[in-house]
Amino acid sequence: MAQTTSDLRVLLLENIHPDAATLLSSRGFSVETYDGALDGDELVKRLDGVQVLGIRSTTQLTAAVFEQAPDLLAVGAFCIGTNQIDLPAATERGIAAFNAPFSNTRSVVELALAEIIALTRRLTDKSSGMHAGVWDKSAVGSHEIRGRALGIVGYGNIGSQLSVIGEALGMSVYFYDPVDKLALGNARRCASLDELLSVADVVTLHVDGRPGNRDLFGEREFALMRPGSIFLNLSRGFVVDHDALRTHIESGHIAGAAVDVFPNEPKRRGEPFSSVLRGLPNVILTPHVGGSTEEAQQDIGRFVAAKLLHYVVDGTTSLSVNLPALALPEQASTHRLAHVHRNIPGVLATINGLLAEHGVNIEGQYLGTRGEVGYVITDFGASAPPSVLERLAGMPETIRLRSLS
C-alpha cells in the first residue's frame, strides 16, 4: 500500500534553514528538527521510523547506520559535499541522496575574496594591534591584489566563479584541475599542481571530498609555494596537513593563511575548538562558514527540501548524486510504481510481463541506469493487485519498490 505524506516522518539535523521544514510540513510531512549533529547509537535511535533525513557536513552516514534504518527512503545533504554519506551503501538499499551543488557557490567565493584581500593587506594583524592599543601605521608587508597571481586548485563551480571575479579585480589567474576544464576569461590552465605553485602569489583550494584528495597538500607542497605567498583552504579539512602549514607560517615562508575547514570539527555550536593553527599571525580561522550566509542557507533549504519532496511524492531523481536521474511529469490520475533494481538485462521485460499477466495497462514508463543500478517508473490507470506488487518486490534484482499512487 502506498504511503500518504502524512504517514512520512522527516528528521532535519544540524540547524538546517527553517524554510526546509516549512516546505515539507506544508505538504503534510511530520517534521522534527535538531540543531546539532548526531552519531552512533543516538543517530540510529532517532532514525527509527524516519523516511527522510536532512543533514549538513558533520553527521556521518555509514553503512552501519543505513543497515539499522530500514525505513529511510531519502537523504538530503544541505551543502555541497557528500563525502559524509556512504553513497554505495545508500544505493545498495535504494536510498536516494541529494545535495546542493550550486546554492552556496557565491557565498564561498565572496569569503575567499574577502580573505585574500584581508591577508594580502595584513588586516588581521593591523586589527589585532589596534585592539591591543598599538598604532602601527606602516605599509610593510601590505600589498594590493591587483597584478598578483591567483592560483586556484579545483576548477569546479566555485573555482571557476572565483577565477572570473579575481580576474575582474586585476589578478592574473592560474588553475589546476586533473579533469580537463574550459578556462574562463584569460585564466591559464597549469599542467600540474607543481607548476601552479611555482607561479601563484595566492593558492586557494576548492577540491571535492573524494578519497583521492586526502592529504593533497602537505610539507612538499608548502615548500614549493613562492616565499611570502598566501594560502587558503575552503574545501575539505582532510586535504591539508595543518602541522606543515603551521611550520611554514612560523618560518615566514607563508605570509598568511585562511582556513575554514578542519580534519576534526565540533559537532555542535558552542563546543570547544582545537587546532595547531590557533594563535598564528595573519591567519584567519573560520568555523566552516564558507556557505553560511543567510541567503545561501535559505536557498539550500528550499532547494534540497524540494528535491526530497519530489522524490518521495512522485519519484523524481533529477540531480540525485547516486540514483539514475529521471525528471518526471507531475503524476496525474494514474497510479505509479517506482522500482530501484540491479542493472541486469531483462529486468524491464520481467516487470512489463508481470503487469501484462495481470491485465495492467501501462500508460507511461521511464527508465534510467547508472552503473550497477537501474530505476524505472511505471504509470498505469488502475491500481495493481497486491499479488503483482509482491512478485515485483520479490524479484531477485529488486532493491526497493515503492507505490506512489
Cα–Cα distance between 4 and 335 in angstroms, integer?
13
Contact (Cβ atoms closer than 8 angstroms) between residue 301 and residue 24: no
Answer whether 150's CB lies under 8 Å from 171's CB: yes
Question: What is the rounded radius of gyration, in angstroms, for the C-alpha atoms of the chain?
Answer: 25
- Catalytic site residue from 17, 206, 248, 288: 288
Kindly write down the DSSP assignment for every residue of 230-297, as one continuous string: EEEE-S-GGGB-HHHHHHHHHHTSEEEEEE---SS--SSTTS----TTTT-TTEEE-SS-TT-SHHHH
The residues that bridge with 232 in the sheet, in sequence order, are 204, 258
Q: Is 288 a catalytic residue?
A: yes
Whole-angstrom CA distances from 300 to 103, 105, 167, 295, 318 are 6, 11, 28, 9, 16
Of 373, 387, 306, 304, nearest to 338 (Cα)?
Answer: 373
**Amino acid at the residue 311:** Y
CA torsion, points 302, 308, 309, 311, in degrees to nearest 10? 140
Does the annotation mark 236 as catalytic? yes
Answer whether 176's CB lies under 8 Å from 195's CB: yes
3-state secondary structure of 345: coil
Give the β-pairing of 362-370 and 373-380: antiparallel
What backbone phi and psi angles, to 5 degrees, belong to 60? Answer: -100, 120
Question: Taking the CB of residue 70, how many other CB atoms lie within 10 A of it?
Answer: 10
Among 236, 336, 339, 341, the active-site one is: 236
> Catalytic residue among 110, 167, 195, 265, which?
265
Grid cell for residue 363 = 500508460
Closest CA to 254 of 277, 287, 275, 237: 277
Q: Can you read off the three cell numbers belonging to residue 335?
A: 497510479
Q: Which residues are part of the catalytic machinery?
A: 236, 265, 288
